[in-house]
Amino acid sequence: MLSKKLAIFIALVSVLFLDINKIYVKHDFEESYKYRLCYFTTSTLSKLANLVGTLNLVPEYKFLRDSIDYLSISGLNKSDQSVNIEFKNFNNVNVQIYRPNNNKNVSPLGVLIFIHGGCYFVRNLDSYDSLLSTIVKETNLLVISINYRLAPEHPYPIPTDDCWNVVEYVLKNAQGLNINPEKLILAGDSAGGNAAMVLSKRLAKEKKIKPLFQVLIYPWVQLAFTMPSSLGYKGGFISALDITKAKLWYLGLNEVSAEMKAAITSNNHTLLLSEGEKNLIESYMDVNLIPDKYKIGKSYYDLYKNLPLFNTGTLDPNNILVRDKNFADKVKMLFSEKVSPSLDSLDQLKYQPKTYQITCEWDSLKDEGLILAERMKQAGVDVEMAFYEDCFHGMITFSDASLGFVGSKKIVENLILYIKKNI
């Protein structure tokens, strides 16, 4: 006869096993259980964060941020003396500097400024130690990772302004840092890719200079619309977090009500746009720009045919987007090119530098990335697309040899080859 405690334990393990097995995984993905475990952990933390937030114990975003920070794993080999990591403050912004220790050459180094992802509200710099140290060892670059302030306590435009302040400091103090500003690279994953685009355009327009190139790793470049891949990969890794809340946190809304969230998920926020704005944006988000080779065998493109980009009609007077002007004004920022840099005209996209873009099939952000790449090419930007059929959003943070995925290592290897070829 099983004891009561053992029976409860077996029941809990069985429930967990069933939950983990319900998580969507591409049918041909060989490391399915590793992925399921990562997704399950993140999803569980997100649900717990929602619970403690609902109970007013701790703000949801803070619980989630602290939990992810606590569980983050560096993957850095502490005995490896080939890379020196320093903690500095540039223009009141904390940074981590990765410098090659084996640099015998006194000539200035190229510099890669890295902007981490995390929907602008979570920080997980330790997860990038292995990646950035590998880049330093393989390319002999100086790498600067920006610890920008996070939303919603520090909403738009503070995170990108912090990054701008670091870039300005680096350019102004290039000699003291022993770097060559003509070999400046901007790079970022997800929200970090968003920031890299914002900075690249600002550099071109305000400083009249362009980075040597930028690296956009599955970038989060528009926060306004649902795309076909969003339908196809609702179970993708990024959906383990509440992305709608993340968007509103970035805009400075500390407390996101169910009504606020519904205003976005229902697509009613698109009713804030004028007809002229809709016509422009429709050309910016044209799914037909995606090359056919990325659509073959993907049924979600057929599903999307019946899903309009914009809602029709007018907003009900009782809708929060009508009742709360402050909320509506913040939400409309989602359509701004400063928040959604891909919602920019070709005349403005031409300010983007040469670009190496990493896009994954298994990612709800896949389509916005592919559309962006095609539009930048139309604007005359040199874009090299690195597309990975069997990779998912967030994969590059799992590049450590002991914990990483096969696809993560492939992404990093190809990124390093591109840097070496173009530096």
Would you say residue 21 lies in a domain? no
253-274, pLDDT tens digit by residue? 999 999 999 999 999 999 999 9
Would you say residue 15 lies in a domain? no
Cα separation, 135 vs 129, whole angstroms: 10
With a cut of 80, say whether residue 74 has pLDDT above it: no
Q: Which residue do the tokens 């306004």 mark?
A: 224
Please, are residues 166 and 116 in contact by the beta-carbon 8 Å criterion? no
Please, are residues 120 and 340 in contact by the beta-carbon 8 Å criterion? no
Across residues 362-368, what is the average pLDDT? Answer: 94
Query: How many independent structural domains does the chain possess?
Result: 1
The sign of the CA dihedral 339, 345, 351, 353 is positive
Would you say residue 26 lies in a domain? no
* Percentage of the chain exceeding pLDDT 90: 75
Would you say residue 156 lies in a domain? yes
CA 360, 361, 366: angle at the middle one, nearest 5?
70
Helices of type H across 82-207? 129-139, 158-172, 174-177, 191-202
Across residues 213-227, what is the average pLDDT? Answer: 95
Cα separation, 210 vs 85, whole angstroms: 27
Would you say residue 84 lies in a domain? yes
* Confidence tier at 398 by pLDDT (50, 70, 90): confident
Cα separation, 386 vs 357, whole angstroms: 6
Cis, peptide link before residue 108, omega less than 30° from 0: no
* Percentage of the chain exceeding pLDDT 70: 90
- Alpha carbon 64 to its chain's center: 16
Would you say residue 1 lies in a domain? no
Across residues 221-230, what is the average pLDDT? Answer: 92
Would you say residue 378 lies in a domain? yes
Classified as helix, coil or strand, 30 is: coil
Would you say residue 35 lies in a domain? no
Q: Which residue do the tokens 């409860």 mark?
A: 8
354: left (phi over 0), alpha (psi -120 to 50) or beta: beta
Alpha-carbon distances, residue 372 vs 222, 253, 312, 340, 368 (angstroms): 10, 28, 26, 11, 6
Which residues lie across from 150 on neighbouring strands?
none
Alpha-carbon distances, residue 222 vs 27, 364, 365 (angstroms): 29, 12, 9
With a cut of 90, say whether residue 6 has pLDDT above it: no
291-342, pLDDT tens digit by residue? 999 999 999 998 887 788 999 999 999 999 999 999 999 999 999 999 999 9
Using DSSP bridges, classify how beta strands 109-115 and 179-189 pair: parallel, antiparallel or unpaired.
parallel
Average pLDDT over the chain reads: 90
Q: In the structure encoding, which two tokens stand for residue 206, read together?
A: 């305000």
75-120, pLDDT tens digit by residue? 666 667 899 999 999 999 999 999 999 766 678 999 999 999 999 9
Q: Which residue do the tokens 């981490």 mark?
A: 116
Cα separation, 14 vs 29, whole angstroms: 23
Q: In the structure encoding, which two tokens stand for residue 107, read together?
A: 């000539």
Going by C-alpha positions, the residue among 17, 66, 12 that lies closest to residue 37 is 17
Cα separation, 260 vs 86, whole angstroms: 42
Classified as helix, coil or strand, 225 is: coil
* Confidence tier at 367 by pLDDT (50, 70, 90): very high
Alpha-carbon distances, residue 119 vs 91, 203, 398 (angstroms): 23, 23, 17
Residue type at position 31: E
Which residues lie across from 109 on neighbouring strands?
179
Using DSSP bridges, classify how beta strands 383-392 and 355-362 pair: parallel, antiparallel or unpaired.
parallel
9-40, pLDDT tens digit by residue? 443 343 444 455 566 677 677 788 888 888 88
345: left (phi over 0), alpha (psi -120 to 50) or beta: beta
Domain range holding 404? Answer: 50-423
Cα separation, 151 vs 120, whole angstroms: 6
Half-sphere CA count of 65, side-chain side, radius 13 A: 21
pLDDT of residue 12: 37
Using DSSP bridges, classify how beta strands 213-217 and 355-362 pair: parallel, antiparallel or unpaired.
parallel
163-173, pLDDT tens digit by residue? 999 999 999 99
Q: The domain spanning residue 197 has which CATH number?
A: 3.40.50.1820
pLDDT of residue 104: 60
DSSP state of 206: I
pLDDT of residue 308: 86
Backbone phi, then psi, for 248, in 5-degree steps? -75, -30
